[in-house]
Amino acid sequence: MMARISSVLLCFFWATGILAFQNSHRIKRHNVEATSALQSRARESYTSNPPRRDEVRRGSKQSIKPSSIANNGKIKQERTVVIMYHKPPNVITSHSNADAISQTQTEQSRFTVYEDISTMKGFVGDQSIIGKEMLNFETATNIQSKLHAIGRLDAATTGLLLLTNDGNLVHQVTNPNAKQDNKQSKSVQKTYEALIMGHHELPEASTTVSANDETYPLVTLLEKGATLSPKHGGQTKPVDDLTILSHPTASTTLVSITISEGKNRQIRRMFHSIGSGVMKLHRVSVGKLSLAGLSSNHSTTELQEGEWRLLSEDEIRIGLGWECRWLDEVSPVAGGRRSRASGKRQPNTRSTKRRRRR
Protein backbone atom coordinates (compact mmCIF):
# COMPACT_ATOMS: atom_id res chain seq x y z
CA MET A 1 0.00 0.00 0.00
CA MET A 2 2.78 2.40 0.95
CA ALA A 3 4.69 1.55 -2.22
CA ARG A 4 1.67 2.44 -4.37
CA ILE A 5 1.24 5.81 -2.59
CA SER A 6 4.95 6.59 -3.04
CA SER A 7 4.80 5.85 -6.77
CA VAL A 8 1.71 8.08 -7.17
CA LEU A 9 3.41 10.98 -5.37
CA LEU A 10 6.53 10.49 -7.46
CA CYS A 11 4.53 10.67 -10.66
CA PHE A 12 2.74 13.79 -9.41
CA PHE A 13 5.95 15.67 -8.60
CA TRP A 14 7.51 14.58 -11.89
CA ALA A 15 4.52 15.87 -13.88
CA THR A 16 4.54 19.13 -11.89
CA GLY A 17 8.23 19.68 -12.64
CA ILE A 18 7.69 19.07 -16.37
CA LEU A 19 4.85 21.63 -16.48
CA ALA A 20 6.90 24.25 -14.55
CA PHE A 21 9.83 23.83 -16.94
CA GLN A 22 7.58 24.22 -19.98
CA ASN A 23 5.95 27.35 -18.54
CA SER A 24 9.28 28.99 -17.73
CA HIS A 25 10.59 28.23 -21.21
CA ARG A 26 7.41 29.68 -22.76
CA ILE A 27 7.70 32.89 -20.64
CA LYS A 28 11.37 33.32 -21.53
CA ARG A 29 10.63 32.91 -25.22
CA HIS A 30 7.80 35.46 -24.98
CA ASN A 31 10.10 38.00 -23.29
CA VAL A 32 12.76 37.59 -25.98
CA GLU A 33 10.20 38.10 -28.74
CA ALA A 34 8.74 41.19 -27.01
CA THR A 35 12.20 42.72 -26.52
CA SER A 36 13.11 42.11 -30.13
CA ALA A 37 9.88 43.75 -31.28
CA LEU A 38 10.50 46.82 -29.08
CA GLN A 39 14.05 47.19 -30.38
CA SER A 40 12.87 46.95 -33.96
CA ARG A 41 10.15 49.53 -33.34
CA ALA A 42 12.68 51.89 -31.65
CA ARG A 43 15.06 51.64 -34.62
CA GLU A 44 12.25 52.49 -37.02
CA SER A 45 11.18 55.47 -34.87
CA TYR A 46 14.79 56.76 -34.60
CA THR A 47 15.24 56.55 -38.38
CA SER A 48 12.00 58.32 -39.22
CA ASN A 49 12.17 60.93 -36.41
CA PRO A 50 15.72 61.50 -35.06
CA PRO A 51 16.04 63.06 -31.58
CA ARG A 52 16.38 66.83 -31.29
CA ARG A 53 19.58 68.33 -29.88
CA ASP A 54 17.96 70.88 -27.61
CA GLU A 55 18.94 69.29 -24.31
CA VAL A 56 20.92 71.27 -21.79
CA ARG A 57 24.57 70.28 -21.77
CA ARG A 58 25.97 68.81 -18.60
CA GLY A 59 27.76 71.43 -16.53
CA SER A 60 26.31 74.37 -18.46
CA LYS A 61 23.09 76.36 -18.23
CA GLN A 62 23.25 77.21 -21.93
CA SER A 63 20.93 75.13 -24.11
CA ILE A 64 21.84 74.22 -27.67
CA LYS A 65 18.88 74.81 -29.90
CA PRO A 66 18.51 73.24 -33.36
CA SER A 67 18.19 76.67 -34.99
CA SER A 68 21.68 77.63 -33.78
CA ILE A 69 23.50 74.58 -35.15
CA ALA A 70 25.03 74.64 -38.60
CA ASN A 71 25.34 71.67 -40.92
CA ASN A 72 28.81 70.83 -39.60
CA GLY A 73 27.49 70.44 -36.05
CA LYS A 74 28.89 73.74 -34.75
CA ILE A 75 27.07 76.76 -33.43
CA LYS A 76 26.79 79.47 -36.06
CA GLN A 77 29.30 82.27 -35.88
CA GLU A 78 28.47 85.34 -33.84
CA ARG A 79 29.58 88.89 -34.33
CA THR A 80 30.72 91.22 -31.55
CA VAL A 81 27.65 92.47 -29.69
CA VAL A 82 27.68 95.07 -26.91
CA ILE A 83 24.73 95.78 -24.64
CA MET A 84 24.37 99.12 -22.84
CA TYR A 85 22.52 98.67 -19.55
CA HIS A 86 21.48 101.19 -16.90
CA LYS A 87 22.11 99.20 -13.77
CA PRO A 88 19.76 99.88 -10.86
CA PRO A 89 20.82 99.44 -7.21
CA ASN A 90 20.72 96.03 -5.50
CA VAL A 91 21.37 94.16 -8.75
CA ILE A 92 24.48 91.97 -8.80
CA THR A 93 26.97 91.89 -11.67
CA SER A 94 27.46 88.14 -11.46
CA HIS A 95 26.31 85.00 -13.26
CA SER A 96 25.33 83.50 -9.91
CA ASN A 97 23.60 85.09 -6.94
CA ALA A 98 25.08 82.57 -4.53
CA ASP A 99 27.86 84.98 -3.51
CA ALA A 100 25.34 87.48 -2.13
CA ILE A 101 23.35 85.23 0.18
CA SER A 102 22.80 86.68 3.65
CA GLN A 103 20.27 86.29 6.40
CA THR A 104 18.67 89.66 5.71
CA GLN A 105 18.37 89.36 1.92
CA THR A 106 15.61 87.73 -0.07
CA GLU A 107 15.68 86.11 -3.50
CA GLN A 108 14.42 89.29 -5.16
CA SER A 109 17.17 91.45 -3.65
CA ARG A 110 19.81 89.11 -5.17
CA PHE A 111 18.70 89.57 -8.78
CA THR A 112 21.60 89.48 -11.26
CA VAL A 113 22.04 91.77 -14.26
CA TYR A 114 21.92 88.77 -16.60
CA GLU A 115 18.59 87.64 -15.18
CA ASP A 116 17.23 91.18 -15.46
CA ILE A 117 18.28 91.49 -19.10
CA SER A 118 16.98 88.05 -20.05
CA THR A 119 13.46 89.01 -18.94
CA MET A 120 13.37 91.58 -21.80
CA LYS A 121 11.39 93.98 -19.59
CA GLY A 122 13.83 96.84 -20.05
CA PHE A 123 14.66 96.25 -23.72
CA VAL A 124 14.68 99.43 -25.79
CA GLY A 125 14.75 98.72 -29.51
CA ASP A 126 12.82 98.22 -32.72
CA GLN A 127 9.87 95.93 -32.00
CA SER A 128 7.96 96.67 -35.21
CA ILE A 129 9.08 93.47 -36.96
CA ILE A 130 8.46 91.10 -34.06
CA GLY A 131 5.78 91.68 -31.48
CA LYS A 132 6.95 92.17 -27.90
CA GLU A 133 5.14 89.03 -26.77
CA MET A 134 7.16 86.96 -29.29
CA LEU A 135 10.51 88.69 -28.65
CA ASN A 136 13.19 86.84 -26.71
CA PHE A 137 16.80 87.58 -25.85
CA GLU A 138 18.32 85.39 -28.55
CA THR A 139 16.12 86.86 -31.27
CA ALA A 140 16.81 90.45 -30.22
CA THR A 141 20.59 90.13 -29.79
CA ASN A 142 21.66 87.14 -31.94
CA ILE A 143 23.73 86.04 -28.95
CA GLN A 144 23.92 82.34 -28.13
CA SER A 145 27.18 82.33 -26.16
CA LYS A 146 27.92 83.63 -22.68
CA LEU A 147 27.76 87.32 -21.79
CA HIS A 148 30.53 89.07 -19.85
CA ALA A 149 30.45 92.42 -18.06
CA ILE A 150 32.99 95.00 -19.25
CA GLY A 151 33.98 96.16 -15.79
CA ARG A 152 31.77 95.03 -12.93
CA LEU A 153 29.73 97.30 -10.66
CA ASP A 154 29.02 96.33 -7.07
CA ALA A 155 25.45 95.89 -5.90
CA ALA A 156 25.06 99.43 -4.51
CA THR A 157 26.60 101.21 -7.54
CA THR A 158 24.30 102.39 -10.32
CA GLY A 159 24.80 103.66 -13.85
CA LEU A 160 26.33 102.56 -17.13
CA LEU A 161 27.24 98.89 -17.48
CA LEU A 162 28.38 97.33 -20.75
CA LEU A 163 28.06 93.62 -21.49
CA THR A 164 29.43 91.70 -24.46
CA ASN A 165 29.91 88.26 -25.95
CA ASP A 166 33.46 89.15 -27.06
CA GLY A 167 35.98 88.21 -24.36
CA ASN A 168 38.80 90.06 -26.11
CA LEU A 169 36.83 93.29 -25.84
CA VAL A 170 36.48 92.75 -22.08
CA HIS A 171 40.25 92.41 -21.83
CA GLN A 172 40.79 95.47 -24.03
CA VAL A 173 38.68 97.77 -21.86
CA THR A 174 39.51 96.45 -18.39
CA ASN A 175 43.27 96.02 -18.90
CA PRO A 176 45.02 99.39 -19.34
CA ASN A 177 48.04 97.68 -20.96
CA ALA A 178 46.01 95.72 -23.54
CA LYS A 179 46.90 95.91 -27.22
CA GLN A 180 44.67 95.62 -30.25
CA ASP A 181 46.06 94.41 -33.59
CA ASN A 182 49.64 94.71 -32.26
CA LYS A 183 49.16 98.44 -31.68
CA GLN A 184 49.26 100.14 -28.33
CA SER A 185 45.78 101.49 -27.67
CA LYS A 186 44.81 104.29 -25.36
CA SER A 187 43.36 103.25 -22.02
CA VAL A 188 39.60 103.42 -21.83
CA GLN A 189 38.55 105.91 -19.17
CA LYS A 190 35.61 105.47 -16.79
CA THR A 191 33.90 108.47 -15.21
CA TYR A 192 31.87 108.32 -11.99
CA GLU A 193 29.88 110.70 -9.84
CA ALA A 194 30.44 110.05 -6.15
CA LEU A 195 28.77 111.52 -3.10
CA ILE A 196 31.51 111.42 -0.47
CA MET A 197 31.61 112.21 3.23
CA GLY A 198 33.13 115.47 4.38
CA HIS A 199 33.31 119.01 3.04
CA HIS A 200 36.14 118.94 0.50
CA GLU A 201 37.65 121.62 -1.66
CA LEU A 202 40.35 121.79 -4.33
CA PRO A 203 42.96 124.57 -4.31
CA GLU A 204 43.06 127.27 -6.92
CA ALA A 205 45.22 126.66 -9.96
CA SER A 206 47.66 129.34 -8.82
CA THR A 207 48.06 127.76 -5.38
CA THR A 208 50.89 125.29 -4.87
CA VAL A 209 49.91 122.46 -2.55
CA SER A 210 51.89 119.34 -1.67
CA ALA A 211 50.32 115.94 -2.00
CA ASN A 212 50.57 115.42 1.77
CA ASP A 213 48.69 118.61 2.67
CA GLU A 214 45.83 117.59 4.97
CA THR A 215 43.88 120.70 4.01
CA TYR A 216 43.25 119.33 0.54
CA PRO A 217 43.23 115.49 0.79
CA LEU A 218 41.78 115.16 -2.72
CA VAL A 219 45.07 116.46 -4.11
CA THR A 220 46.66 113.16 -3.04
CA LEU A 221 44.47 111.27 -5.51
CA LEU A 222 45.39 113.70 -8.29
CA GLU A 223 49.12 113.71 -7.61
CA LYS A 224 50.01 110.24 -6.32
CA GLY A 225 46.92 108.06 -6.44
CA ALA A 226 45.88 105.95 -3.46
CA THR A 227 47.80 103.38 -1.46
CA LEU A 228 45.63 100.30 -1.07
CA SER A 229 46.43 97.07 0.71
CA PRO A 230 48.36 94.47 -1.35
CA LYS A 231 45.35 92.17 -1.57
CA HIS A 232 43.32 95.04 -3.08
CA GLY A 233 45.86 95.93 -5.75
CA GLY A 234 48.41 98.07 -3.94
CA GLN A 235 49.29 101.51 -5.26
CA THR A 236 46.88 102.97 -7.83
CA LYS A 237 47.68 105.39 -10.61
CA PRO A 238 46.77 109.07 -10.13
CA VAL A 239 43.21 109.76 -11.19
CA ASP A 240 42.79 111.21 -14.67
CA ASP A 241 40.39 113.91 -13.54
CA LEU A 242 38.73 115.01 -10.32
CA THR A 243 36.20 117.83 -10.16
CA ILE A 244 33.99 119.08 -7.35
CA LEU A 245 30.42 119.42 -8.60
CA SER A 246 28.58 120.65 -5.51
CA HIS A 247 28.10 120.38 -1.76
CA PRO A 248 24.61 118.95 -1.16
CA THR A 249 25.05 119.45 2.59
CA ALA A 250 27.65 120.98 4.84
CA SER A 251 29.19 117.57 5.47
CA THR A 252 29.02 116.00 2.01
CA THR A 253 30.65 116.64 -1.37
CA LEU A 254 29.57 115.55 -4.85
CA VAL A 255 32.56 114.94 -7.11
CA SER A 256 33.22 113.71 -10.64
CA ILE A 257 36.17 111.33 -10.87
CA THR A 258 37.73 109.69 -13.94
CA ILE A 259 40.10 106.69 -13.82
CA SER A 260 41.58 104.32 -16.38
CA GLU A 261 42.19 101.39 -14.02
CA GLY A 262 39.66 98.83 -12.90
CA LYS A 263 40.64 97.41 -9.53
CA ASN A 264 37.95 95.86 -7.37
CA ARG A 265 35.92 98.64 -5.68
CA GLN A 266 38.70 101.05 -6.54
CA ILE A 267 36.69 104.29 -6.22
CA ARG A 268 35.35 103.41 -2.78
CA ARG A 269 38.76 102.30 -1.49
CA MET A 270 40.53 105.37 -2.90
CA PHE A 271 38.31 107.78 -0.97
CA HIS A 272 38.53 105.58 2.11
CA SER A 273 42.34 105.84 1.95
CA ILE A 274 42.17 109.63 2.40
CA GLY A 275 39.81 109.45 5.37
CA SER A 276 36.53 109.87 3.50
CA GLY A 277 33.90 107.43 2.31
CA VAL A 278 31.51 106.96 -0.59
CA MET A 279 27.81 107.28 0.21
CA LYS A 280 26.53 106.98 -3.38
CA LEU A 281 28.31 105.98 -6.57
CA HIS A 282 27.08 106.29 -10.14
CA ARG A 283 29.00 105.43 -13.31
CA VAL A 284 28.46 108.15 -15.90
CA SER A 285 30.49 106.99 -18.89
CA VAL A 286 32.87 104.38 -20.30
CA GLY A 287 35.16 105.68 -23.01
CA LYS A 288 33.12 108.05 -25.16
CA LEU A 289 29.86 106.30 -24.28
CA SER A 290 27.31 107.57 -21.79
CA LEU A 291 23.78 106.39 -21.04
CA ALA A 292 22.68 108.60 -23.95
CA GLY A 293 25.13 106.96 -26.38
CA LEU A 294 28.05 108.78 -27.97
CA SER A 295 28.84 112.17 -26.48
CA SER A 296 28.61 113.68 -29.98
CA ASN A 297 25.10 112.29 -30.55
CA HIS A 298 22.57 114.43 -28.71
CA SER A 299 19.48 112.88 -30.35
CA THR A 300 19.59 109.60 -28.38
CA THR A 301 17.37 109.37 -25.32
CA GLU A 302 19.17 108.52 -22.09
CA LEU A 303 18.40 105.08 -20.70
CA GLN A 304 16.44 104.92 -17.47
CA GLU A 305 17.20 102.49 -14.64
CA GLY A 306 16.66 98.89 -15.73
CA GLU A 307 16.59 99.73 -19.47
CA TRP A 308 19.08 98.36 -21.99
CA ARG A 309 19.74 98.50 -25.72
CA LEU A 310 22.17 97.23 -28.34
CA LEU A 311 25.02 99.46 -29.45
CA SER A 312 25.67 99.94 -33.15
CA GLU A 313 29.04 98.98 -34.60
CA ASP A 314 29.85 102.68 -35.07
CA GLU A 315 29.18 103.32 -31.37
CA ILE A 316 31.45 100.41 -30.43
CA ARG A 317 34.22 101.57 -32.77
CA ILE A 318 34.08 105.26 -31.80
CA GLY A 319 33.10 104.88 -28.16
CA LEU A 320 35.42 102.00 -27.19
CA GLY A 321 38.00 102.01 -29.99
CA TRP A 322 37.11 98.43 -30.92
CA GLU A 323 36.46 96.99 -34.36
CA CYS A 324 33.61 94.48 -34.34
CA ARG A 325 34.64 91.04 -35.58
CA TRP A 326 33.33 87.58 -36.27
CA LEU A 327 33.89 85.35 -33.25
CA ASP A 328 35.24 81.83 -33.52
CA GLU A 329 32.75 79.01 -33.89
CA VAL A 330 31.75 77.16 -30.75
CA SER A 331 31.57 73.38 -30.82
CA PRO A 332 28.58 72.00 -28.86
CA VAL A 333 30.65 69.25 -27.25
CA ALA A 334 30.43 68.75 -23.50
CA GLY A 335 33.59 68.71 -21.43
CA GLY A 336 36.73 70.78 -21.47
CA ARG A 337 36.83 74.43 -20.67
CA ARG A 338 35.42 77.46 -22.50
CA SER A 339 37.83 79.96 -23.98
CA ARG A 340 37.14 83.41 -22.55
CA ALA A 341 38.15 85.18 -25.76
CA SER A 342 36.29 83.15 -28.32
CA GLY A 343 33.90 80.97 -26.35
CA LYS A 344 35.47 77.83 -27.87
CA ARG A 345 35.51 74.61 -25.93
CA GLN A 346 39.11 73.51 -25.40
CA PRO A 347 40.45 70.26 -23.96
CA ASN A 348 41.20 70.17 -20.28
CA THR A 349 44.95 69.93 -19.82
CA ARG A 350 44.88 69.17 -16.12
CA SER A 351 45.79 65.66 -15.10
CA THR A 352 42.96 63.59 -13.68
CA LYS A 353 45.22 61.13 -11.89
CA ARG A 354 45.15 61.32 -8.15
CA ARG A 355 48.43 61.57 -6.31
CA ARG A 356 49.25 58.62 -4.18
CA ARG A 357 49.48 59.23 -0.49
CA ARG A 358 52.92 58.64 0.92
Write out the catalytic residue numbers. Answer: 154
State the burial class of residue 27 (Cβ atoms within 10 Å of its Cβ: 0-12, 13-18, 19+): exposed
